[in-house]
Amino acid sequence: MRMIPAAMLAFALPLLAVPAAAQEAAPKSLGLKLDGKVKTPTTYTVAQLRAMPATSVTVSFQGHEDAGGTWKGVALAALVEKVGTVEEKGHGAFLQHVIMARGTDGYAVGIAMGEIDPKFEGKAVTVAYEKDGKPLDSLRLIVPNDAHAGRSVRNLAELTVN
Protein backbone atom coordinates (compact mmCIF):
# COMPACT_ATOMS: atom_id res chain seq x y z
CA MET A 1 0.00 0.00 0.00
CA ARG A 2 1.37 3.40 -1.01
CA MET A 3 1.38 6.22 1.55
CA ILE A 4 0.40 9.80 0.67
CA PRO A 5 3.03 12.32 1.81
CA ALA A 6 1.79 14.62 4.59
CA ALA A 7 2.53 17.75 2.53
CA MET A 8 0.24 16.56 -0.27
CA LEU A 9 -2.48 15.62 2.19
CA ALA A 10 -2.28 19.06 3.86
CA PHE A 11 -2.74 20.67 0.45
CA ALA A 12 -5.61 18.42 -0.67
CA LEU A 13 -7.76 18.40 2.48
CA PRO A 14 -8.89 22.06 2.25
CA LEU A 15 -9.93 21.43 -1.37
CA LEU A 16 -12.05 18.47 -0.31
CA ALA A 17 -13.81 20.58 2.33
CA VAL A 18 -15.24 22.99 -0.28
CA PRO A 19 -18.89 22.11 -1.07
CA ALA A 20 -19.39 20.64 -4.55
CA ALA A 21 -21.74 23.48 -5.56
CA ALA A 22 -19.06 26.06 -4.80
CA GLN A 23 -16.47 24.12 -6.81
CA GLU A 24 -18.76 24.06 -9.88
CA ALA A 25 -19.81 27.72 -9.79
CA ALA A 26 -18.19 29.90 -12.43
CA PRO A 27 -16.22 32.85 -11.04
CA LYS A 28 -18.07 36.15 -11.17
CA SER A 29 -16.82 38.92 -13.43
CA LEU A 30 -15.33 41.85 -11.53
CA GLY A 31 -14.95 43.99 -14.60
CA LEU A 32 -15.33 44.08 -18.34
CA LYS A 33 -12.31 43.98 -20.62
CA LEU A 34 -12.84 45.57 -24.06
CA ASP A 35 -9.97 44.94 -26.47
CA GLY A 36 -9.04 43.73 -29.95
CA LYS A 37 -9.17 46.08 -32.92
CA VAL A 38 -9.84 49.15 -30.80
CA LYS A 39 -7.91 52.39 -30.36
CA THR A 40 -8.09 52.37 -26.55
CA PRO A 41 -8.27 48.91 -24.94
CA THR A 42 -10.01 49.36 -21.60
CA THR A 43 -11.22 47.42 -18.59
CA TYR A 44 -14.37 48.83 -16.99
CA THR A 45 -15.45 48.27 -13.42
CA VAL A 46 -19.16 47.95 -12.66
CA ALA A 47 -18.99 51.37 -10.97
CA GLN A 48 -17.60 52.91 -14.18
CA LEU A 49 -20.35 51.29 -16.23
CA ARG A 50 -22.99 52.59 -13.81
CA ALA A 51 -21.58 56.12 -14.25
CA MET A 52 -22.19 56.00 -18.03
CA PRO A 53 -25.50 56.89 -19.69
CA ALA A 54 -27.86 54.00 -18.98
CA THR A 55 -30.27 52.20 -21.24
CA SER A 56 -33.07 49.78 -20.41
CA VAL A 57 -34.44 46.96 -22.48
CA THR A 58 -37.38 44.68 -21.71
CA VAL A 59 -37.13 41.19 -23.18
CA SER A 60 -38.72 37.77 -22.98
CA PHE A 61 -37.16 34.56 -24.22
CA GLN A 62 -38.84 31.30 -25.20
CA GLY A 63 -38.01 28.59 -22.69
CA HIS A 64 -35.88 30.92 -20.55
CA GLU A 65 -38.32 32.77 -18.34
CA ASP A 66 -35.52 33.55 -15.83
CA ALA A 67 -33.79 35.63 -18.53
CA GLY A 68 -36.86 37.73 -19.27
CA GLY A 69 -37.46 41.06 -17.59
CA THR A 70 -36.26 44.63 -17.72
CA TRP A 71 -32.49 44.91 -17.90
CA LYS A 72 -30.56 48.12 -17.23
CA GLY A 73 -27.01 48.76 -18.35
CA VAL A 74 -24.87 50.36 -21.04
CA ALA A 75 -25.51 50.03 -24.76
CA LEU A 76 -22.85 47.87 -26.42
CA ALA A 77 -22.70 50.39 -29.28
CA ALA A 78 -21.82 53.17 -26.81
CA LEU A 79 -18.98 51.13 -25.29
CA VAL A 80 -17.50 50.33 -28.71
CA GLU A 81 -17.85 53.96 -29.80
CA LYS A 82 -16.08 55.12 -26.63
CA VAL A 83 -12.95 53.01 -27.27
CA GLY A 84 -13.02 53.57 -31.07
CA THR A 85 -12.45 50.82 -33.60
CA VAL A 86 -9.30 50.47 -35.68
CA GLU A 87 -10.41 50.80 -39.27
CA GLU A 88 -8.91 49.03 -42.21
CA LYS A 89 -9.18 50.73 -45.58
CA GLY A 90 -11.89 49.82 -48.00
CA HIS A 91 -15.56 50.27 -48.64
CA GLY A 92 -17.64 49.01 -45.70
CA ALA A 93 -14.58 48.02 -43.61
CA PHE A 94 -16.44 49.03 -40.43
CA LEU A 95 -19.07 46.38 -41.11
CA GLN A 96 -16.45 43.63 -41.21
CA HIS A 97 -15.96 43.87 -37.42
CA VAL A 98 -17.51 41.28 -35.13
CA ILE A 99 -17.58 41.66 -31.37
CA MET A 100 -16.92 38.44 -29.47
CA ALA A 101 -18.52 38.47 -26.03
CA ARG A 102 -17.11 35.93 -23.57
CA GLY A 103 -18.23 34.90 -20.10
CA THR A 104 -16.03 33.67 -17.27
CA ASP A 105 -17.11 30.10 -18.08
CA GLY A 106 -15.74 30.39 -21.64
CA TYR A 107 -19.16 30.70 -23.32
CA ALA A 108 -18.74 33.08 -26.26
CA VAL A 109 -21.01 34.62 -28.89
CA GLY A 110 -20.55 37.00 -31.80
CA ILE A 111 -22.35 40.27 -32.48
CA ALA A 112 -21.95 41.82 -35.93
CA MET A 113 -21.12 45.53 -35.92
CA GLY A 114 -24.04 46.22 -38.28
CA GLU A 115 -26.45 44.78 -35.67
CA ILE A 116 -25.63 47.49 -33.12
CA ASP A 117 -24.82 50.45 -35.38
CA PRO A 118 -27.76 52.90 -35.37
CA LYS A 119 -27.22 53.56 -39.10
CA PHE A 120 -27.97 49.89 -39.80
CA GLU A 121 -30.04 47.58 -37.55
CA GLY A 122 -29.47 49.57 -34.35
CA LYS A 123 -30.31 46.63 -32.07
CA ALA A 124 -30.29 47.63 -28.38
CA VAL A 125 -27.68 45.08 -27.26
CA THR A 126 -26.98 45.89 -23.62
CA VAL A 127 -24.24 45.13 -21.11
CA ALA A 128 -26.54 44.79 -18.11
CA TYR A 129 -25.68 45.37 -14.46
CA GLU A 130 -29.26 45.38 -13.16
CA LYS A 131 -32.43 43.32 -13.70
CA ASP A 132 -35.92 44.42 -12.66
CA GLY A 133 -34.43 47.16 -10.46
CA LYS A 134 -32.03 44.83 -8.60
CA PRO A 135 -28.23 44.78 -9.03
CA LEU A 136 -26.77 41.67 -10.65
CA ASP A 137 -23.97 39.60 -9.13
CA SER A 138 -22.14 39.84 -12.46
CA LEU A 139 -22.53 41.53 -15.84
CA ARG A 140 -24.73 39.99 -18.52
CA LEU A 141 -25.00 40.60 -22.25
CA ILE A 142 -28.62 41.00 -23.35
CA VAL A 143 -29.48 40.67 -27.04
CA PRO A 144 -33.12 41.63 -27.71
CA ASN A 145 -35.15 39.51 -30.13
CA ASP A 146 -32.98 36.41 -29.77
CA ALA A 147 -35.83 33.94 -29.35
CA HIS A 148 -34.04 31.54 -26.99
CA ALA A 149 -31.51 33.82 -25.21
CA GLY A 150 -28.66 32.04 -27.03
CA ARG A 151 -26.50 35.16 -27.04
CA SER A 152 -27.34 36.20 -23.49
CA VAL A 153 -23.89 35.78 -21.93
CA ARG A 154 -23.87 35.33 -18.16
CA ASN A 155 -20.85 36.46 -16.12
CA LEU A 156 -19.74 38.66 -19.01
CA ALA A 157 -16.03 39.37 -18.67
CA GLU A 158 -14.62 40.25 -22.10
CA LEU A 159 -15.57 41.93 -25.36
CA THR A 160 -13.10 41.53 -28.22
CA VAL A 161 -13.52 43.46 -31.48
CA ASN A 162 -12.28 41.36 -34.41
What is the rounded distance in angstroms from the CA atom of residue 69 to the CA atom of residue 31? Answer: 23
Supply the pLDDT for residue 79.
97
What is the rounded distance in angstroms from the CA atom of residue 1 to the CA atom of residue 50? Answer: 59
Supply the pLDDT for residue 28.
58
Residue among 132, 141, 28, 159 at smallest CA distance from 75? 141
Supply the pLDDT for residue 124.
97
DSSP state of 24: H
Model confidence pLDDT, tens digit, residues 21-67: 333 344 455 689 999 999 999 999 999 999 999 999 999 887 766 77
Average pLDDT over every residue of 96-108: 96
Can you give the C-alpha Rg of the chain in angstroms?
19
Average pLDDT over every residue of 80-105: 89
Q: Which of 11-15, 51-55, 98-102, 122-126 has the lowest mean pLDDT?
A: 11-15
CA pseudo-torsion sign 115, 118, 121, 125: positive
Strands in 126-131's sheet, in edge-to-edge order, are 55-59, 69-75, 126-131, 134-142
Average pLDDT over every residue of 92-117: 94
Amino acid occupying residue 53: P
Residue among 86, 116, 87, 89 at smallest CA distance from 101? 116
Of residues 14 and 67, the one with the higher pLDDT is 67
What is the rounded distance in angstroms from the CA atom of residue 102 to the CA atom of residue 159? Answer: 6
Supply the pLDDT for residue 41.
97
Q: State how far the alpha carbon of 148 is from the alpha carbons of 59, 67, 102, 126, in Å.
A: 11, 9, 18, 16
Model confidence pLDDT, tens digit, residues 70-90: 999 999 999 999 999 997 777
pLDDT surpassing 50 at residue 6: no
